[in-house]
Chain A
Amino acid sequence: MKTKWIAMICSAAMMVLLLSGCGGDNESSGSGGEGEKVSISIWHNWTGQDAKAVAMRKIIEDFRVDHPEIEVIDEGLPTDGLRTRLRTVAAADEMPELFVMFPDAMTKEFVKGNLLQPIDEELNANPEWRDNFIPNALDGFTVDGKVYSVPMNLAPSSFVFYNDALFKQHNVKVPETWEELQTAVQTFKENGVIPIALGNKTNWVAQSTFFSTVADRITGTDWFLKAVEQDGAKFTDPEFIDALKTFQELGELGAFQEGFNSLDETQMMQLYFQGNAAMVINGGWALANLVNNAPPEVLDNTHITIVPAISGGKGAPDTTSGVVGTGLGVSKKLSGSQKEAAMKLFYALAGPDGQKATLESSTLVSYNIELDKSKAHPLFVELYDLIQNVKIVPVYDSKLGSATVEVVNNGLQELLMGGNAEDIAAKIQSAQATAVEN
């Protein structure tokens, strides 16, 4: 008797399993075949309560209202989670119709994996859209002459945010040359103020926000691009070692607070918000955080400039490292009415209106539109004005192979802990040489 009872439970469980399997099937085929309604899914990282995320979600909401014939299934994930998820579904060739995609390494790998389709057709159909991007804005999304996406923002990665009150209090000049920066560091340090807050636990921070610009000042952009291609320049060249050493010396001078390798970017901003640090070097994206979270006494005294000039360097002084922002990847499998619908949403998010909404949410864009200064926060106006006169040079992690980026990032942590510049340079060189070979 008992045995039968158990057997029944077991078989019931199995039935449920099987049924649920079939159920899943039915559902997915159901959404496609529902009359005229087309369904597209979009994965993004606009999950927060910050202005940019809110603006993007609003565009999607409005799109739903304007296009009742299109069903938009949107899914927000934290950025790290989005990357992991995309990597997994890429391996299974199951990309969503649209997804937030990073320029350079990710775009290249996904194109190589035959997962994306180019959007040249749509761009050429809308020349006023295509031609309004800032110069080189599409490079990070271009592979073998085909354009796969457009940037939806601009991410200059290296600005000096400084607390003017602390500079005045300790009688320090806002540095315009490297020597002045060194003096500033020394003065602040003597007075118990953290000269530059740094949070390099997530190890891209030092590379992206500071070192890329310093290196460009010293080696010049041409050298870097050659070294990336391993064509006539190597990372063991004296100019690169000079850049590493310059950076290391600044660290040895005590520019960064103790324990900078164990704090993350949030905690680095936290130090600055507490008024304990005179400067923090971070990308343009930090502005929204600053405006939302810094206490008024810090926010009102904050101004923005670029990393000071380095005399004797081959690079231009009026530049900052940076990269165009994320775009949207379009799945290879899209066609027909579904593709049409997806491209409509693409245009709503990344077209002129989307770019305008992004700019109005205090986020820089790679697109030519005027900022309505009366509506924006004064600090964002300051940033916007600054960027008009500054040229963007490539940030290291946008051009190097992803394995090399890991070596650079770890190498910089090692460098700031007293590592040998020549050894680190050799490791970077060998990683990039391997990357180019493959």
Chain B
Amino acid sequence: MKGCEKSMNALRSKRFIITGLVPAVVIYSLFVFVPVVWSAYYGFFSWSGMGEAKYIGLGNYAEILRDPVFGRALKNNVIFVLASVFGQIPLALVLAVLLHKNNFLQRFLRSAIFLPMVLSTVVIGMIWQYIYHPQIGILNFLLDALKLGDWKLQWLSDGHIAIYSLIPPLIWSYVGLYLIIFMSALQNIPGEIHDAAKIDGVSGVRKLLSISLPMIKNTVQVAVILCISGSLKSFDLVYIMTKGGPAHATELLATYMYNSTFATYRYGFGSAISTSIMLISLLLIGTSQWLTSRRRARE
């Protein structure tokens, strides 16, 4: 391709690059980048969201560092990130390897697993609330029926376990997405490799680990980044299921930001939290990239 590029009419390809990039850059800058910088700017003010704003420099950030609720929210967010990365991705990978055939059962299973993705979070939140319901919930009912009454918990209202109770709905609702991503990547593995594996008698988990996984390493990396960024800004599910409670037990950075901005008239502080969310995401993604590239270097 290098030679090919050189042979291209340099002027033409330059013009192509510029025309091609302009629409994306313009729309994205105008509707994403400008608002974000703008909101970051509010983060340096003490502002109720209307009327006079008072410049306080890094005051909001200093408060964030001292704020125990922010710390709690950050910890919960990290739990979410770990649960997504180590829950959704391996599960989706295994399912993708198992469900690659186009027969009725597999198609049904794929659709079933994907279905939660198309439901809006409002519906998902509602159904899981009833699954976990302390009196009429189906989970506690099943545990009773299986004579496991001792395992019954107050899933969403016990401050120690509420955040973990949110993980199954979280994983359940997004596995389908990663399943699709991995399936399309696996389909791109040339047929000869599968044939070779069959001849060698490699199958199942071993095939996944030793042959498929390395082939789609890039895709997995993409999925990890999607996963991290997605779970750091997750908001809807928690806002609907627990409102961040009880007593901040399931507070996330995004719910905390929303409350500060729209409930307690602390717009500046909310903006500072939102800027922090971005900085933390960058840090985490940078770390994950660094970890994988270091491992690759060692190989």
Q: CB atoms of A and B under 8 A apart anywhere in the complex?
A: yes
B133 at the A interface (CB under 8 A): yes
A109 at the B interface (CB under 8 A): yes
With beta carbons under 8 angstroms apart, the residue of B23, B46, B245 that contacts A261 is B245
Interface flags, A193-225, vs B, CB<8A=1, else 0: 010000011110000000000000000000000
Tell me if A87 and B262 are in contact (CB < 8 A).
Answer: yes
Q: Tell me the residues in window 241-299 of chain B with beta carbons closer than 8 Å to chain A beta carbons.
A: 242-243, 245-248, 259, 261-267
Tell me if A402 and B245 are in contact (CB < 8 A).
Answer: no
Residues of A within 8 A of B212 (CB): none
CA distance A43 to B262 in the complex (A): 18
CA distance A6 to B242 in the complex (A): 49
Which stretch, B48-56, B76-84, B173-181, B229-237, touches the partner chain A? Answer: B48-56
B132 at the A interface (CB under 8 A): yes
B88 at the A interface (CB under 8 A): no
Interface of A, secondary structure class, is helix
The minimal Cβ–Cβ distance linking A425 to chain B, given in whole angstroms, is 15
- Name, among B133, B136, B263, the residue most crowded by chain A CB atoms within 10 Å (CB to CB): B263
Residues of B within 8 A of A263 (CB): 133-134, 157
Tell me if B242 and A112 are in contact (CB < 8 A).
Answer: no
With beta carbons under 8 angstroms apart, the residue of A115, A262, A410 that contacts B157 is A262
CA distance A171 to B96 in the complex (A): 62
Residues of B within 8 A of A201 (CB): 156-157, 242-243, 245-246
Chain B interface size, under 10 / 10 to 19 / 20 to 34 / 35 or more: 20 to 34
Tell me if A262 and B242 are in contact (CB < 8 A).
Answer: yes
Residues of B within 8 A of A112 (CB): 48, 50-51
Tell me if B264 and A411 are in contact (CB < 8 A).
Answer: no
Tell me if B247 and A109 are in contact (CB < 8 A).
Answer: no
With beta carbons under 8 angstroms apart, the residue of B50, B156, B264 that contacts A259 is B156
The minimal Cβ–Cβ distance linking B130 to chain A, given in whole angstroms, is 9
Tell me if A83 and B262 are in contact (CB < 8 A).
Answer: yes
B103 at the A interface (CB under 8 A): no
Tell me if A417 and B243 are in contact (CB < 8 A).
Answer: no
Tell me if A91 and B134 are in contact (CB < 8 A).
Answer: no
Residues of A within 8 A of B135 (CB): 194, 257-259, 271, 276
Residues of A within 8 A of B162 (CB): 262
Interface flags, A285-298, vs B, CB<8A=1, else 0: 00000000000000
A403 at the B interface (CB under 8 A): yes
A413 at the B interface (CB under 8 A): yes
Q: Tell me the residues in window 16-43 of chain B with beta carbons closer than 8 Å to chain A beta carbons.
A: 19, 23
Known: A262-B162, A402-B263. A90 touches B245 (CB 8 A): no
CA distance A10 to B26 in the complex (A): 13
Tell me if A259 and B133 are in contact (CB < 8 A).
Answer: yes
Known: A84-B262, A402-B264, A406-B264. A262 touches B154 (CB 8 A): yes
Residues of B within 8 A of A194 (CB): 135
With beta carbons under 8 angstroms apart, the residue of A87, A115, A410 that contacts B247 is A410
Tell me if B245 and A410 are in contact (CB < 8 A).
Answer: yes
Tell me if A262 and B263 are in contact (CB < 8 A).
Answer: no
Residues of A within 8 A of B267 (CB): 91
Q: Tell me the residues in window 227-268 of chain A with beta carbons closer than 8 Å to chain B beta carbons.
A: 257-263, 267
- Name, among B51, B155, B261, B262, the residue most crowded by chain A CB atoms within 10 Å (CB to CB): B51
The minimal Cβ–Cβ distance linking A398 to chain B, given in whole angstroms, is 15
With beta carbons under 8 angstroms apart, the residue of B51, B134, B259 that contacts A114 is B51
Q: Tell me the residues in window 80-127 of chain A with beta carbons closer than 8 Å to chain B beta carbons.
A: 83-84, 87, 90-91, 93, 105, 109-110, 112-115
- Name, among B23, B155, B262, the residue most crowded by chain A CB atoms within 10 Å (CB to CB): B262
Known: A10-B23, A259-B154. A87 touches B243 (CB 8 A): no
A422 at the B interface (CB under 8 A): no
The minimal Cβ–Cβ distance linking B257 to chain A, given in whole angstroms, is 13
Residues of A within 8 A of B19 (CB): 6-7, 10
Tell me if A202 and B157 are in contact (CB < 8 A).
Answer: no
CA distance A258 to B134 in the complex (A): 6
Tell me if B51 and A200 are in contact (CB < 8 A).
Answer: no
CA distance A258 to B133 in the complex (A): 10
CA distance A263 to B51 in the complex (A): 37
A414 at the B interface (CB under 8 A): yes
Known: A114-B51, A258-B154. A402 touches B265 (CB 8 A): yes
CA distance A419 to B160 in the complex (A): 13
The minimal Cβ–Cβ distance linking A275 to chain B, given in whole angstroms, is 12
Residues of A within 8 A of B133 (CB): 259, 262-263, 267
Q: Tell me the residues in window 122-165 of chain B with beta carbons closer than 8 Å to chain A beta carbons.
A: 129, 132-136, 154-159, 162
Tell me if A109 and B48 are in contact (CB < 8 A).
Answer: yes
The minimal Cβ–Cβ distance linking A324 to chain B, given in whole angstroms, is 21
Tell me if A406 and B263 are in contact (CB < 8 A).
Answer: yes
Nearest neighbor of A274 in chain B, beta-carbon distance: B136
Q: Tell me the residues in window 157-178 of chain A with beta carbons closer than 8 Å to chain B beta carbons.
A: none
Residues of A within 8 A of B259 (CB): 406
Residues of A within 8 A of B242 (CB): 201, 262
With beta carbons under 8 angstroms apart, the residue of B129, B134, B247, B263 that contacts A257 is B134
Tell me if B265 and A203 are in contact (CB < 8 A).
Answer: no
CA distance A406 to B247 in the complex (A): 10
Tell me if B50 and A110 are in contact (CB < 8 A).
Answer: yes
Nearest neighbor of A90 in chain B, beta-carbon distance: B50
Residues of B within 8 A of A93 (CB): 50
Tell me if B49 and A90 are in contact (CB < 8 A).
Answer: yes
The minimal Cβ–Cβ distance linking B268 to chain A, given in whole angstroms, is 11
Tell me if B246 and A417 are in contact (CB < 8 A).
Answer: yes
With beta carbons under 8 angstroms apart, the residue of A10, A259, A402, A417 that contacts B134 is A259
Tell me if A109 and B265 are in contact (CB < 8 A).
Answer: yes
Known: A203-B243, A410-B248, A417-B159. A262 touches B50 (CB 8 A): no
Residues of A within 8 A of B158 (CB): 417
CA distance A110 to B50 in the complex (A): 7
The minimal Cβ–Cβ distance linking B270 to chain A, given in whole angstroms, is 10
Residues of B within 8 A of A114 (CB): 50-51
Interface of B toward A, CB cutoff 8 Å: 19, 23, 46, 48-51, 129, 132-136, 154-159, 162, 242-243, 245-248, 259, 261-267
Known: A259-B134, A260-B157. 11 other contacts (CB 8 A): A7-B19, A90-B50, A105-B265, A115-B51, A258-B134, A259-B154, A261-B245, A262-B133, A262-B157, A403-B265, A406-B263
What would be 22 A-B contacts, judged by CB atoms less than 8 Å apart? Answer: A10-B19, A83-B262, A83-B263, A84-B262, A87-B262, A109-B49, A109-B265, A110-B50, A112-B50, A112-B51, A115-B51, A200-B246, A201-B245, A203-B245, A259-B135, A260-B157, A262-B154, A267-B133, A402-B263, A406-B259, A410-B245, A417-B158
